[in-house]
Each structure stands twice: as structure tokens, then as C-alpha cells.
Chain A
Amino acid sequence: MQSQIDPGAQGQTGDRPLIAEFRAATKRYGAVLAADALSFGIGKGEFLSFLGPSGCGKTTALRMLAGFEVPTSGDVFLDGERVTDVPAYRRPVNMVFQHYALFPHMTVAQNIAYGLMQRRPRPDRAEVARKVDRALDMVRLSGFGPRRIWEMSGGQQQRVALARAIVNEPKVLLLDEPLAALDRKLRREMQIELQTLQRQLGITFVLVTHDQEEALSMSDRICIMRSGRIVQAGSPLALYDQPINRYVADFVGKSNFIDGVVSALSGEGGQIETASGYRFEGRVSGVLAPGAKASLSIRPEQIDLANSAHPGAEPVTVINRIFLGEHTEYLVRHAALGDLLVLVARQAEAAAGSFAPGAAAFVAWKPETALILPQD
């Protein structure tokens, strides 16, 4: 397998033409660097997510696209045009706000029509009504037009916000943590709906989220951000399988980390040695030199849990067991390596039997499923 990151990881958009682009876009708030020389292209029709913890600069990036923030230096391009100094109201993009920001003094239909009514010359009333109806239809709120905003539930308000944005047929639709205020079940529904809508409309979607599951399930491409920089960009699969460092591996999916230094490198493989003298083989992902600090990353589902010793297996004690339906999650403790998370599929557990807390067990994993990653 290739240990190099796929071309998408470098911020390329493959064969898609660019619809938006940051060129060394920097945003400074006093001493805080919210965006640090972002250079990045967004492809036409792409579903792109900015993923990171709060304060990583993902919202700043989105707001620079919307026109709410002017970069301290650098440029923003939309559809080939430099829009760095173009105010928000002249940009062909629309945003779905985190708390919806629906106009409380207008009806649902008036909210949705708002963007269309700003166009000059003013569009025909019948045309506006037709587009509003179609947008309501698209978010499954037909007939809700005359309602007041405060008569709508949270999930319905979310749909109104979405309809208010897409009715303008923006070149890029910006979504600022749009599902954060919804409960889990509704969030899952809206994720599927958003994805379907994006395919139907063919509009470029740019999503900001701190929820990795949301980003993984919807995006074509994800940018993992930290301290105003893009750490890695790539398809969900590429980020999951080939993270360039520990930060990315930790943010995308769950993982176990064993710290050490690189003791050997050979092509795509390598070896890590822990402080307690253990040596583990693994695939090298990211840039590493012998002797460098590194972490071995093993996904919980790649670890086998067995009740008898076998070559290469390490003895552990079961600390906790959580039944998750199709999976069972075990927390096990190794005397030298610390706590490890193990995910056992239902079928595997049915075959090997389950472990009660306090039971002794053995863990093992295939070296090719372990990754040796730079710590930073």
C-alpha cells in the first residue's frame, strides 16, 4: 500500500474546476492568528468540510468566504474573481447560520423570499412565489409558508434556514455547524437530507463542524484544521487510513496511541520503540526520520481480543465492557502500554465469547494495520 498521501490531501481538487480559493489568506485578531496563510482551493460541486476543535480557524475560513471577515492579508477568490474586499451582500454565496438567524418578524415564506427580493431589478412576484414554493417543497415544508417562525420547531427552523439559502441558487452554500442544535436522531436525518440535496442541486457545499462523524458521513473532502492552518485535507477514507500525524488520526475516528521513537525505517514500513523497551512494526504515514518521536496508532477495530496466549499477543486485563449493539467496546489495560480501546464485532464476539471486567485476555494486531505517525 502507498504510504504517501493521495493528491487530494495537498489541497487539490482533482479534476474539478475551482469555485472558490484562498490565497495566503491570513486573519489576525490582535495577537490571535485565526487563519494562518490559508492557501486552498474548493472544487465546483464539491461537498467540503472544515473539521477541527473550537478556535482552530474553521469558522474564520467560512466567514472569509461569506464576506463577514476581511483577511488581514492574502486574498479570497470566488468563481475566478477576487472578492477579498467585496462586501457580503454582493457575494454569490449564502450561509446557513448555526442558530439559523431567521427573521422573527417575517413569515416562513417571507424569510425564504428575502434573498430573492433583494435582487435589482426586483423579480416578478409570481416568480418569487413559485421559487419559494419549490424551496419549501425541497425541504419538505410545503404549506408552511404563512407560518410564523416561532411556530416552527427547531428541526423545521433548520429546514427554513436551508430553504432561505438554497432558493438563491448560490455558487457556494456555506453551512456553519448547521446541525449542532438538533438532537441526535434529527441530526442523522438532516445529514442524509443535506447530502441528497447537495447531489440534487449540484451546488458546492462548504460545511464547518467539530463533529467528525458529521464530516466523515457527508463530505467528499475534509480539511482538518488546527491553529488557523490546514493540517491535512483529503477524502474521509484517506484521512482515516492515512493520517499524516497523530492529531489527524486522533480527530478522525477513534484510535489507540502508543508513544515511542522511530527505531528503524525501511521503505514504507518502520519500527517504533517505546520507553519500556517494546518494539512494534507498522506502516509509516507522514514524514519521519530515525530517532524521531512518533506514535503507533492502532484503530480499535483492528485489535483482536483472545482468551489464550498466542505468538505476538500481549496480556491485558479487561477494565470495562460497553455493549453498543453491533459492536462491543472493551477498555483493556496493559502493564506497560497503558489502556487500549478494542472494538469487537458482534459476530466475532459470538464466536470467541465475551469478557467480563477483571478477566485476563490477550490482544494482538497485524503490523500492517498499525500506523507509525509523527506526534505533531
Chain B
Amino acid sequence: MQRRLSTWLLLAPAGLWFAVMLVLPLCFVVVFSFGEREAAGGYVPAFTLAQYANLPSRGTAFLNTLTLAPFGTVLALLIAYPLAYFLAMRADPKWRTLLLILVIVPFWTSILIRSYAWIFILGGQGLPAVIAWLGFGSVRLINTPFAVMTGIVYGYLPLMVLPVYVSLERLDKRLLEAAADLGAPPLRSFLQVTLPLSLPGVATGCMLVFILLMGEFLIPAMLGGGKVFFIGNALVDLFLQSRNWAFGAAVAVTLVLIMLVTVSLYMWLMRRMGGVRDDVALM
């Protein structure tokens, strides 16, 4: 009995936090989503599916998020994997720590400031000016999906590099010698040994980046110039500008449901692939 009591006491702070800060607000959001908007903005209790029926009016935001988030995750992975591989397997151990710090350094500055920097790089006086000067004509980069994608990949790259790096760094290098010894050329040993054994890191990185991307609003707002709208932007707009809380809640609930489904599907897929052990498959 004594032990059970201490277990409950130790779990109480986290439990309370979860209940008050997560479950309760989520209940409010669900309740709100069935309500109606007051004329002056805000919420009127009701039970109607009108807000859900209205979802297609924000279809573009959903479409943008649901295409750019997976696409951004995959792009970040494709760029991060070779970098993490180099850091873990090829880089001189003398330089490894310094290089890793360089990967993390951007985190020391607010994403807001870093996104501002991209506005200048991609803006008229930046990269497009260089391209025009080189004689490739005038291109528009800022306020395009390309700019949003660039910002996203730039911003989330470290979150992808670090878990992949850790899984590659922990990989027993003698396994690669064993593969070579048994006749596997380098590419095959990568595909058959390195890649499957780094999947837990890949899964973690993809999950981190994907979940955060689904709720992203800052980068699209700054680099998309209102043209590339994410669900996150729709929520900011609905709750803070047009004060349509009921509709905002419906959008939020839909986003949570979509995330639940995609993440569960993804976890199920990861588990089926290559017999990755449950205890190491996810974070």
C-alpha cells in the first residue's frame, strides 16, 4: 500500500498537468466546435454540426498543410540523412563535436529572426537579384510555396539530423565489417544493415518534424506572405482576428483527428517494416 501511495504521489504533478493543460482544454475545444458564433465574435452554446459543414471553406489551408507537411518532412529527411551519415560515420572524431554544434547553433536564435533573414535572402534584393545579375531573368522567390518549403526545411533540419545522427552513431560499426566480410559491397551493406538499423532514428526525426509542421503558422505567414496558408494560420486568423471561436474549434478538432490517424498509421507502418523492435522504434 505504501508503495502504491508513493507511486501516485509521484505521478500526481504530471497527471494534474495533463488533466488541466491538455485534457480540459481539449474538451473545451470539442464542446466549442459544436457551438455557434456570437454576432460580435466569441461563442454561443449550441449543438450544431454547422461548423463542420463549413470546413470546406478552409479547404486550401488543409490541402496546403497536408501536402507541404509530409513533403517538407521527406525533403528534410533527404537532406538530413546524408548529413547525419557524414557526421556519424565519416567525419573526423576531432571535428565531430564542433560540426554537431554548428547543426544546433541556429536554435540559439529565435525562428522569428531567422525567418526574417530568409525574407531578405529570398526577397527582391537577395537571391533573385543575384540570379538576374547572372542573366537568368527575373524570378520571384518570396511569398511562394518554394519560400515556405525552404524556410520549413531550414527550420526543422536539426530536429531531423539529431535523431538520425544518434541512431547512426550508436550503430555497431563491426556489423558493417561483418556485412563486408560476408560479401556485401558498400551500397548493399548500407541498404541491408545501416539503413534498417537507423530506422528508429528516422522514425523519431520524421515524427518530430511532421507533428510540428502540421501546426506550423509562423514560417508560412512570414515567407508565404498570406498566399501559402497553413491550418495553423487559419487557426490564428479564426481565433484572434475574426473571433469565430466555434469554427476555429471545429478546424482544430479536425486537425487533431487528422494527426491522430496519420501518426497511428505511420507508427503501424514503422513497426511492420523490418521488424524494428517496439521498444526502440519510437523515441
Residues of chain A having any CB pair with chain B under 8 Å:
66-68, 87-90, 93-95, 97, 99, 101-105, 114-115, 118-119, 148, 150, 164, 168
Contact = CB atoms under 8 A, between A and B. Distances in A.
A327 B84 CA distance: 59
B275 to A, nearest CB: 6
B179 interface: yes
Contacts of B274: 105
22 contacts: A66-B177, A66-B181, A68-B180, A87-B180, A88-B181, A89-B179, A89-B181, A89-B182, A89-B183, A89-B184, A89-B185, A93-B181, A94-B181, A97-B177, A99-B174, A101-B174, A101-B177, A104-B175, A114-B192, A115-B182, A118-B184, A150-B277
Contacts of A115: 182-183
A119 B182 CA distance: 9
B189 to A, nearest CB: 8
A271 to B, nearest CB: 53
B233 to A, nearest CB: 41
A164 B183 contact: no
A103 B181 contact: no
Contacts of A90: 183
Given A94-B181, A105-B196, 4 more contacts: A87-B180, A103-B178, A115-B183, A164-B182
A118 B177 contact: no
A180 to B, nearest CB: 14
B93 to A, nearest CB: 15
- Interface core residue of B172, B181, B276 (most chain A CB under 10 Å): B181
Given A105-B274, A105-B276, A118 B183 contact: yes
Nearest to B188: A118
A114 B192 CA distance: 10
B267 interface: no
Interface residues of B, number: 23
Interface of B: 172, 174-175, 177-186, 188-189, 192-193, 196-197, 274-277
Contacts of B182: 89, 94, 114-115, 118, 164, 168
Contacts of A114: 179, 182, 184, 192
- Interface core residue of A66, A99, A114, A150 (most chain B CB under 10 Å): A114
Contacts of A88: 177, 180-181
A97 B178 contact: yes
B202 to A, nearest CB: 13
A101 B185 contact: no
Contacts of A89: 179-186, 189
A94 B60 CA distance: 59
Nearest to A105: B196
A7 to B, nearest CB: 33
Contacts of B172: 101
Contacts of A164: 182
The 6 closest A-B pairs by CB, nearest first: A118-B183, A115-B182, A101-B178, A101-B174, A88-B180, A89-B180
